[in-house]
Amino acid sequence: MKHLQEAFFAKLESQDKLTSEEYAVLYMTHRNIAIEAQREAGANEYQAKTMGEYYTVSVLSGFLNNETVLEEVMDFTEKLEF
């Protein structure tokens, strides 16, 4: 999973400043990749989703280092999910 976290962080660093909505789309993309990797590693659905989200949000949180912006991003992710 570390390689996925590093790839997500590198992607975040390579982007110009993004809007909260753009960060949300990027987060969702990488979260889904992490969830799928967990499934392939043998995790059940609950475990895969929990760990995929944890790994991805920890990277985003560390990158943004701003709780207000992180909350805005998470709000947008809820709107993107259906």
How confident is the prediction along the chain (82 residues), in pLDDT tens digits per residue? 789 999 999 999 999 989 999 999 999 999 999 999 999 999 999 999 999 999 999 999 999 989 999 999 999 999 887 5
pLDDT value of position 82: 52
Q: Which long-range contacts (CB under 8 A, 24 or more apart) does 76-79 make?
A: 76/20, 76/21, 76/23, 76/24, 76/25, 77/24, 77/27, 77/28, 77/31, 79/24
Global pTM?
A: 0.89
